[in-house]
Structure 1
């Protein structure tokens, strides 16, 4: 059972390192701009910053 636990721990640590590496790489290279479709779904990709902020303001 000890060998299985060590093997599982190694797999979890490798996954954590890979996750952090990819997240940091995407954040530093602005790669999420090319991978994220949220801006297109929200319909704010061709707006100025003032119009973009206005779409997220709550109406009274």
Structure 2
């Protein structure tokens, strides 16, 4: 039982470390456009200005 607990603790530590590294990479604007695909979904990289339909005035 002790070995399983040690393995689970090391997996948890490794997962937290990976999460922190990825979060730090996503906060950097220069790196985020290569790591995250959100900019493609939002259309930020297209560089084309489109007409915006404003519903609430």
Structure 1 length-normalised TM: 0.54
- Structure 1 regions of 5+ residues with no counterpart? none
Q: Which has the higher contact order (CA 8 A, sep 6+)?
A: 2
| Equivalent residue runs for 1:6-25 within 5 Å | 6-25=6-25
Q: What is the rounded CA distance, in whole Å, between the counterparts of 1:17 and 1:26 in structure 2?
A: 14
Which residue does the alignment assign to 1:59? 55
Residues 59 and 44 from structure 1, CA distance in 2 versus in 1: closer, same or farther, beyond 3 angstroms?
farther
Q: Which segments of 5 or more consecutive residues in structure 2 lack a partner in the other structure?
A: none
RMSD: 3.0
Which is richer in helix? 1
1:37-56 equivalent positions in 2, closer than 5 A: 37-45=37-45, 46-47=47-48, 55=52
1:34 counterpart residue number: 34
